[in-house]
Amino acid sequence: MIQRMYVGPAIPGVIKQGTVLLGDLPKGLAEVVGKVSCIKNLVVPIEGATAAVQALKKQGSVEQVSFGKVLDYVRGGSQDEI
């Protein structure tokens, strides 16, 4: 079974940053993906988690932009797609 890690911001009641996932996305997270599809950019293979976390620090990276969009969603802001 493939292990993945969520490196995005915490989504209250849904998922915390650093959560390791096995198999399909949890139902609550899958529902949020329907609203903010860029969350998929923040669910990375476990072996790529370190690189993804480093990419979060790089201005304009897919991971950094996706993190910002998910954070906007969490704060009740824009749900624009990436």
Residue-wise pLDDT for 8-67, tens only, equals 999 999 999 999 999 999 999 999 999 999 999 999 999 999 999 999 999 999 999 999
Q: Would you state the pLDDT for residue 1?
A: 79
pTM, two decimal places: 0.89
What's the pLDDT score for residue 82? 42
| Res. 79 pLDDT band, cuts 50 70 90 | low
Q: How many CB atoms lie within 10 A of CB 64?
A: 14
- Alpha-carbon distance of 67 to 16, in angstroms, equals 13
Domain locations along the chain: 3-74
- Output DSSP code: residue 19: -
Residue 77 pLDDT = 66
